[in-house]
Structure 1
Amino acid sequence: MEVVKPGSVFAGYRVLSMLGRGGMGQVWLVEHPTLGRREALKIISPNPADPSFAERFRNEARTAAALDHPGIVTVYTHGVENGSPWFSMSYLEGEDLAAASALPVDDVVTVVGKVADALDYAHTRRVIHRDIKPANIVVARGPDGRIARVTVLDFGIARLMDGAKMTATNLFVGTLAYAAPEILTGEPAIPASDQYALACTTFQLLTGSQPYPGQTPMALIAGHVNTPAPRISERRPDLVHVDAVFARALAKNPADRFASCSE
């Protein structure tokens, strides 16, 4: 990956500061060269063992850029700079939910409703996210503390990464906590896979813990594939009335889940 640091120029953008780093690459706050607009620029770590990576990246970036929904981050442009694939997107004020402990129920209802609407929109355009998790949901609040905006990040990016490469990173261990059984057993991702990941995310936002809290990749996989869905009422007795909702959204067989995320 090309060396990037604050004050340098990458793909014509002036680099301001690092926003984040993970197994898939780095995200930088940059300034557009002509518009003066602040954007987020994500530099993807390419897989040298995959000669088709750059072409697949261009296809995924074009697909993500075609999505036009208030709950999906806007992708502006993309390219490959000195072997490093990158794309720029709107810079979002707010914080992702990676570090969120249990949120108030009303907040969770708002977040999940907006994410579900964004996912259903994408699914009607035959786009699967593949990596729904708290870290890919950014929430902005107004001066009164209420949620003003909910935005989903990284559509389609997970499909770029080779499975063996992902397993070697902490990022993928984190992603495993929300992965549907069919993906873990080698089946292709489908809309119901995103629904399952959203249900895992919802469970965590309501309880402060993941539904299958394994500490190793094998333990997480075994939980999703073989362990019955936990009752949320075991951790939140006040939510016993939604046990059946989670049982359905976390069904091992995708056909047994809801017809859509919003449902």
Structure 2
Amino acid sequence: MATVYTARDMNLGRSVALKLFDPRLADADELRRQDAEIELLASLNHPGLVTLFDAGADNRIPGEPRPFLTMELVDGEDLRDRLRRSPVTLEELAVIGAGLADALAYVHSLGIIHRDIKPANILLAPVRAGDPLRPKLTDFGIARIIDGTRLTATGTMVGTAAYLSPEQARGSDIGPASDIYSLGLVLLECVKREIEYPGNAVESAVARLHRQPAVPEHLGPEWTQLIRAMTAALPSERPSATAVEAALRSAVASPVSTPGLPAGMDTQVLPAPPARPPQLPGTGDGNGTLRMDPPLPGGASGHTGPPRPGRPPAPSRWPARLRRTGRRTRIAVALAGVALLGAISAGAIALSVPEAPAVVVPYPAVTGSLGEHLKQLQENVQP
């Protein structure tokens, strides 16, 4: 269909990929397909997709126009070559799959189906040394707009036979779920390092109509469940690209690299501590001992026993406490009150009449212990 060259952009001084279409395929239908690819790629902008820089046609040969695309040059290998060179670990596969699912979620939101998801169309771009490879999806040459004008005849197969969805193999209408199926076969191939449905176009297409993909059990239940869901026979039973991305992103964070939430990391809702009235500082028990609540077990901040009966606010508890105290205590409280009033009165007099001599207020004669206390109080408050 086309040949891709490494080229040099002389205006911007950068290396690019130049996709030059074959003039032998430039019939009316193919030209429409090429124009559709150019318009499609020009409208896309996503880090998981190869960026289109420019487009045009080479008309130097009369009657044989050669459309071309100038695209981002991905300095790396594609997933097909990587599988031939070395296996892909589950950690790498989770990163690659999540990036591809994110790109598919973007194009599906625009009403676009790729229709040819396969390892050769997945480029692995290095970002920084030691970082995981970033996948980039390329070759939208046979994509079409959902419910848009068809560029292929009804009942024909378009795509690579080994990665077709069942509905593609039957020549039926397709949707975003078709790309999910193809991506599931790609993930499965990375795990098994072999094509699930090999053979020629007819053999490969018919095989998927008669049996489900064989997913190895050693992958664990999470990976097995995800790939089986992606390759379900009915499109309605397949997850969306967004759901696939979420599952694979969680696999990246999981210690065992399995899709889904890591074991033992479920969010826990802790009970709120019961509301307790504010405690006045220095509150005593009437015997001169500071009362404190008993420590809670395990350093917790809430009461774990049975509910405590409600207590009235702090001010309303003072009359009851005074009634429970003895006669001496009540006298001491009265003396403290008298002392406080005397101090306030003396301070007010001193501030209001600074020049006047201090006046000692005589107290009434009181006999007994109370009288002795009043006498000492009077002597203490004298200037």
Q: Tell me if both proteins adopt one fold, taking TM over 0.5 as the criterion.
A: yes
Give CA deviations for 1:99-134 in whole Å, capped at 9, x if unaligned.
233301000000000000001001101111111111
Residues 1:80 and 2:64 aligned together? no
- Structure 2 letter corresponding to 1:122: V
The worse-fitting range, judged by mean Cα deviation, of 103-112 and 84-93 is 84-93
- Structure 2 letter corresponding to 1:196: Y
Residues 1:231 and 2:212 aligned together? no
User: How far apart, CA to CA, are the structure 1 residues paired with 2:25 and 2:74?
Assistant: 31
Give CA deviations for 1:3-41 in whole Å, capped at 9, x if unaligned.
xxxxxxxxxxxxxxxxxxxxx221001112322221101
Residues 1:100 and 2:82 aligned together? yes
Q: Is the 8 A contact 1:138 1:152 kept in 2?
A: yes
Q: Is the 8 A contact 1:47 1:161 kept in 2?
A: no
Considering fraction of residues, name the structure with more helix: 2
- Structure 2 letter corresponding to 1:194: D
Superposition pairs of residues 200-211 of structure 1, within 5 angstroms: 200-211=185-196
Q: CA deviation at 1:230?
A: 1.3
1:220 matched residue in structure 2: 204
Superposition pairs of residues 10-25 of structure 1, within 5 angstroms: 24-25=1-2
Which of 30, 33, 36 lines up with 1:59 in the alignment?
36
Residues 1:252 and 2:233 aligned together? yes
The worse-fitting range, judged by mean Cα deviation, of 150-159 and 127-136 is 150-159
User: How far apart, CA to CA, are the structure 1 residues paired with 2:202 and 2:142?
Assistant: 23
Q: Is the 8 A contact 1:47 1:53 kept in 2?
A: no
Q: CA deviation at 1:157?
A: 3.6
User: How far apart, CA to CA, are the structure 2 residues paired with 1:96 and 1:161?
Assistant: 27
Residues 1:243 and 2:224 aligned together? yes
Give CA deviations for 1:175-232 in whole Å, capped at 9, x if unaligned.
21111111111123311111111100011112211222x2222221112222122123
Give CA deviations for 1:145-201 in whole Å, capped at 9, x if unaligned.
4324221111244569868xx98xxx96xx211111111111233111111111000
- Structure 2 letter corresponding to 1:58: D
Over the matched positions of the two proteins, sequence identity in percent amounts to: 30
Q: Is the 8 A contact 2:102 2:242 kept in 1?
A: yes
- Structure 1 letter corresponding to 2:58: E
Gaps of 5+ in 2: 60-64, 145-149, 245-383
Q: Is the 8 A contact 2:33 2:142 kept in 1?
A: no
1:180 matched residue in structure 2: 165
Q: Between the two structures, name the one with larger relative contact order (CA 8 Å, sep ≥ 6).
A: 1
SS in 2 for 1:87: strand
User: How far apart, CA to CA, are the structure 1 residues paired with 2:71 and 2:196?
Assistant: 32
TM-score, L = length of structure 1: 0.78
Q: Is the 8 A contact 2:75 2:125 kept in 1?
A: yes
Q: CA deviation at 1:46?
A: 4.8
TM-score, L = length of structure 2: 0.55
Superposition pairs of residues 57-206 of structure 1, within 5 angstroms: 57-82=34-59, 83-101=65-83, 102-142=87-127, 144-157=129-142, 175-206=160-191
1:28 matched residue in structure 2: 5
- Structure 1 letter corresponding to 2:202: M
Considering fraction of residues, name the structure with more strand: 1
Larger Rg: 2
- Structure 2 letter corresponding to 1:223: A
The worse-fitting range, judged by mean Cα deviation, of 62-71 and 93-102 is 93-102
User: How far apart, CA to CA, are the structure 2 residues paired with 1:142 and 1:68?
Assistant: 18
Gaps of 5+ in 1: 1-23
